[in-house]
Chain A
Amino acid sequence: MTYEEKLARFNAHIEAGGKVETEDWMPDDFRNGVLKFIEMHANSEIMGAIPEREQVPRAPSLKRKMSLTAKVQDEVGHAQLLYRVAEDLGKSREAMFSDLVNGKSKFHNVFHYPTKHWGDVAIIGWLIDGAALVTQAALLDSSYAPYTRVLKRICSEEQLHLRHGEDISLELASGTESQRAMFQDALTRWWLPIIHFFGPKTNVEKDLLLRWKVKTRTNEDLRQEFLDRYVPKVLELGFEFPAPVPFHDEESGHWLIRDEDIDWAPLDAIKRNQGPETQRRLNLRKTVYDTHRWVRDALAGPAIHAA
């Protein structure tokens, strides 16, 4: 069979809703595209553990400290699951890690920003995990089957994180004026990055991963689902959104934001790895990777049994 024939058969398989397994034949563009996509997801999980980790010492109670620590552990675990799936597509974990810490590969925009106080933990756990869950749940039907099987586990844990985040948010919202001010301050700082999180409008014609059904929905479609689900929940607690301010469109019933209200400049800087915390967090990741080399070496060595 020629390459063209294989490609035609592959496209027809995908078109008919078929799934792809690691051992199946796939075009190079598909393999590289899926690899890059999952690698970015894995990078985001492992970098995403850092902002919340920064707040562990500030947890208001032992219970909160334990639950936040458990969540950070879960996120690192998600990265490990995803790196494993990506490795099977032909890039070693060492290479992926090296590309991450040397700024050659990317991670999600929201993890390039600083955290200031416990209000940030509420926003990250509720709204950012909520946004992530919308995008990840949409991938459960992706055409690359090994990714979907891992995502099932990840989504069920994210669901728990969402409850954890909502629990913290509601506690702040029903608390003192200074607790409510913390939540509002965090919301004001994080709102634009959360809107950026979904990315600019998808170019449907050019998006290979969308055509091959690795991705199943457009960025704007996912952002809309997020707005409709979360904007009313925040408003009923009496908080206010900064720009881009969402408004209710009576005709369609949707919570909308205007494209011209979104300032994309901060996202463009992050794409060049020039976000406010990018370098500091990558340096931390690299330092930990280097100073913990002995742990990996010890684990990879032969077992030594006590006499």
Chain B
Amino acid sequence: METWEVFRRHGHREPFEHCGTVTASDHEMALLTAKECFLRRREGEHLWVVRRSDIHSFQDETLLEIAADKSYRFNSGYRDVVAKRERARARAKELATP
């Protein structure tokens, strides 16, 4: 018997999402079991099963961190835009008055 990770898609807006795990001897049994467990009440329209041993992840989670200050990749890096807009409007007014 093997462990299978189960992914489910509900609607079309979101991608497949992990929803649980089943134990089964092959992918067909895994799909059947997953259907009974995770689509009992139409919680989605589609299922995937993937052998747990086929899933890989980072062993060292510190490798997932961003290496340096990259604040410009985030909205929060541009938080002062309101103040800047005020300044630009004021500059336009100043130039418009002779």
Contacts and interface: CB of A to CB of B under 8 A. Distances in A.
A174 B72 contact: no
Interface residues of A, number: 26
Contacts of A173: 88, 91-92
B40 interface: no
A163 B73 CA distance: 11
B55 interface: no
Contacts of A67: 72, 77
A159 B77 CA distance: 13
Contact of B84 (A70, A174, A238): A174
A145 interface: yes
Interface stretch (B7-15, B19-27, B29-37, B56-64): B7-15
Nearest to B75: A160
A296 to B, nearest CB: 22
A209 B14 CA distance: 23
Interface in B62-98: 70, 72-75, 77-78, 81, 84-85, 87-93, 95-96
Interface of B: 12-15, 70, 72-75, 77-78, 81, 84-85, 87-93, 95-96
Interface of A: 19, 21, 63, 66-67, 70, 145, 148-149, 152, 159-160, 163-164, 166-167, 169-171, 173-175, 180, 236-238
